[in-house]
Amino acid sequence: MATSVHELDLPEIDLDIDLDRDQVLALFDEVRARHWLARTPLGYLVCRHEDVTAILRDRRWHSAASMITEMAGLSGEGSVFDRQRESILTLEGEPHARLRRIVAGAFTPKQADKLRPFMREVVGGLVDAFASEGRCELVADVCEPYPIPIVCELLGAPKADWKLFSHWATEIFKIFNNDLLNDMPAIEKASNELDDYVRAMVEQRRSQPADDLLTDLIAAEEAGDKLSTDEMVGLAGAVLMAGTDTTRNQLACSVALLAQHPEQWKLLAEQPELAPRAVEETMRYLGSVRGTGRFASEDIEFHDVLFPKGTLVATSLSGANYDPETWQAPTVFDITAIRESPQMTFGSGIHFCLGANLARAELQEALHLLARRMPNLAIDGAIEWKPSTVGIWGPARLPLRFDPGH
Ligand code: HEM
């Protein structure tokens, strides 16, 4: 019979302390050498590519996203947290599969490609503001403002409302501030305003179709099954939540890395066709989402170990991205290399990032444009990183200098 995970003698690690990234990776190497599993204060952790993939692809393991609010003791009829529980990020089984089937057509590479000219226009406009100075602080000047107009354009919201969306996103992200009791009124208010706004847009698109996501979603149908207005409103909220901070932080991580490899930055400026590989390699080497979590929805046996129902397991995407069993020379950063496996920062299995095509297009367009307009890029001082405990992680400040006037 399989041994219960609680009885195993396992390496213990605590990622909730302020370790820098290299220390965390060294810790993963140590763990992998001793066991495929480690114990953490909240549950267990896997960091081998094979195990991370297997757990994320096994439908008996359910997303732990719904547990943030349950653990904080916050839920209630009709509250924002109950709505979150119903979101695509947290649904499981057939209700989740149904949503993914219906919306899949709206998130294809072709749909993302339609937004590329708009993406170039937005990044270009942001760079125009500082190009002549030869200096910028990339997080505030480019990464923060970039994704909101893209989400707005995707949904079909006009430029006049970018500020509103930005405000709602900031308020709703307070969910991750670890102070839910105090932040709850602001989060509720912003969520309700966003819902009302999107609901009105859906109603309008029903009578006046446009070239945007909401119109596509109204038309989207799978075997006669359609999304309800509530489901569309929920999806718009999920897109704003899942597509904003992830993209901001990833762009900052990718540029920080390339700024430390000037020869690769120059290559990227000269060869736009390298942009897709630059995105995959920077996401593998320095991903903004370093892990996700699952809990056992029933007793699960895996590698002869029993995980009793309710057991929490952190699946380390950054660990998987550096597993020497999967990658040749994982610590070498090279945007020209053809890698043996897809990078893991978009996750795997049924919750694999719905916006991956859009995010890839956003990052490819931004990286190539920045490389072209910021030649001879260098870090101007020191990069300030967010604390390693932050879920969606990257530079808090990224001061840069470069040749002006491009
Ligand atoms: C570089 C940027 C991004 C990264 C690193 C990223 C990463 C991820 C990861 C790791 C997951 C899976 C989480 C899990 O398994 O628990 C996920 C899910 C998701 N992402 Fe992204 N994401 C990015 C951008 C976006 C964008 C731009 C959108 C908006 C269209 C988006 C929408 C979603 C949605 C809706 C889900 C939930 C899918 C589901 O549960 O079925 N993401 N993302």
Segment 104-126 mean pLDDT: 96
Cβ proximity of 394 and 27 under 8 Å? no
Q: Which helix (H) or strand (E) holds 16?
A: none
**Runs of H (alpha helix) within 244-381:** 245-259, 262-270, 275-285, 317-321, 356-373
- With a 6 Å cutoff on the Cβ, whether 346 touches ligand 1 is yes
Closest ligand 1 atom to Cα of 107: 30
Cβ proximity of 374 and 134 under 8 Å? no
Q: Which helix (H) or strand (E) holds 140?
A: none
* 295 Cα–ligand 1 center, Å: 19
Establish how many alpha carbons lie within 13 A of residue 88's alpha carbon, considering only the half-sphere containing its beta carbon: 28
- With a 6 Å cutoff on the Cβ, whether 89 touches ligand 1 is yes
* 158 Cα–ligand 1 center, Å: 24
Angle at 86 between CA 68 and CA 172, to 5 degrees: 55
Tokens of 384: 């300030």
- With a 6 Å cutoff on the Cβ, whether 157 touches ligand 1 is no
Closest ligand 1 atom to Cα of 350: 41
Spatial separation of the C-alpha atoms in residues 26 and 321, rounded to whole Å: 13
Adjacent-strand bridge partners of 63? 294
Instruction: Count the neighbouring beta carbons within 10 Å of the beta carbon of residue 143.
Output: 25
pLDDT band at 72 (very low <50, low <70, confident <90, very high): low
pLDDT band at 15 (very low <50, low <70, confident <90, very high): confident
- With a 6 Å cutoff on the Cβ, whether 247 touches ligand 1 is yes
- With a 6 Å cutoff on the Cβ, whether 251 touches ligand 1 is no
Closest ligand 1 atom to Cα of 64: 16
pLDDT band at 203 (very low <50, low <70, confident <90, very high): very high
State the pTM of this model: 0.95
